[in-house]
């Protein structure tokens, strides 16, 4: 089972819709965690309606700053990972990613099987740290 996490940003309703529709009711998903960074009212309304409908299948957790600011992808990611109990596997989506509907259930079955004995799947990305970023990272819990 997966805890599926995604961060959605800005006024990009078509991207949010494409991603969330690809995550509908799924036997391989224990819970869904959505982080909202400075989303538009239209996008927020869609996310909350989708979440209310989807919660019949599994828990949905929505993370957002009280003033709808962009707190940054990684600080929001840390909040999402720290909250409550995560499934034994985590799947991460950025808001411009989605599960292809043609692949559908078979893709989830393959991902579940492939990840059973893996620590990490996918590509490793290396990002050069900027200015004093290493100091801030070291201070995080």
Complete DSSP assignment for 80-127: HHHSSPPPSEEEEEETT----TTTHHHHHHHHHHHHTT-S--S-----
Confidence category of residue 104, pLDDT binned at 50, 70, 90: low
Residue pair 22/99 in contact by the 8 Å Cβ criterion: yes
Give per-residue pLDDT as tens, 26-48. Answer: 788 899 999 999 999 999 999 99
pLDDT at 11 over 90: yes
Buried residues in 49-74 as b, exposed as e (16+ CB within 10 A): ebbeebeeebebbebbeeeeeebeee
What percent of the chain has pLDDT above 90? 50
* Fold type of domain 2-138: Spore Coat Polysaccharide Biosynthesis Protein SpsA; Chain A (3.90.550)
Find how far residue 73's CA is from the centre of its chain: 10
Residues 44 and 26: their CA atoms lie apart, in Å, by: 22
* Domain ranges (residues) in the chain: 2-138
pLDDT at 25 over 70: no
Give per-residue pLDDT as tens, 68-103. Answer: 899 888 889 999 999 989 998 999 999 999 988 766
């Amino acid at each position: 089972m997966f805890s599926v996490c995604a961060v959605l940003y800005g006024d990009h309703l078509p991207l949010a819709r494409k991603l969330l529709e690809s995550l509908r009711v799924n036997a391989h998903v224990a819970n869904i965690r959505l982080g909202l960074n400075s989303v538009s009212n239209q996008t927020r309304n869609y996310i909350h309606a989708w979440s209310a409908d989807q919660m019949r299948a599994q828990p949905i957790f929505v993370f957002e700053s009280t003033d709808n600011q962009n707190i940054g992808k990684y600080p929001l990611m840390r909040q999402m990972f720290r909250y409550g109990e995560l499934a034994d596997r985590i799947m991460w989506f950025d808001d411009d990613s989605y599960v292809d509907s043609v692949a559908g259930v078979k893709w989830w079955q393959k991902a579940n099987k492939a990840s059973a004995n893996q620590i990490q799947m996918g590509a490793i990305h290396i990002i050069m740290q900027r200015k004093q970023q290493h100091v801030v990272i070291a201070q995080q819990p």
